Amino acid sequence: MKIPTILLATCLLALGQAPAGAAKRPNILFMMSDDHASEAISAYGSWLKDYCHTPTLDRLAAEGMRFTNVCCNNSICSPSRASIISGQYSHVTGALNLGCRLKPNAPSYIREMTNSGYDTCVVGKWHMQQFPRGAGDYAVTVGQGSYFNPTLHR
């Protein structure tokens, strides 16, 4: 599970780059999509770029960072999300199937960002039994949620 670990390390390193007392810290926007196909975002330059126009995502990719060589060790929603949040493999987090529960003592980049003074918010499909721990705020679906007009719980 190299990518979540690298992501966590990158975020934590970014926190340490600003000198003590610096007023400006980098903004960090982490977006994760289920069943994401890179071909559907024109910033990746696939053959679909002429059909899939994604100017906002293209701008974010041009001004920030995008992953071009990644894999998912467990492509089920909840285990994958738990691994990215914790930087640990599914068998370590205990998140092995849909609707799982992250161990209370599992590391969390969300909690680390909050503890480092960042405003954090988790929005959208969460698909785990408990609400996001460590987030400053959240608005998430319970379970799968609805594709149209989903109910978000706070």
Residues annotated catalytic, as ranges: 77, 127
How far apart CA 20 and CA 47 sit, in angstroms, is 46
Q: Which two tokens stand for residue 56?
A: 């906002």
The position carrying tokens 């914790």 is 86
Distances (CA, A) of 142 to 90, 94, 102, 128, 146: 21, 19, 15, 8, 9
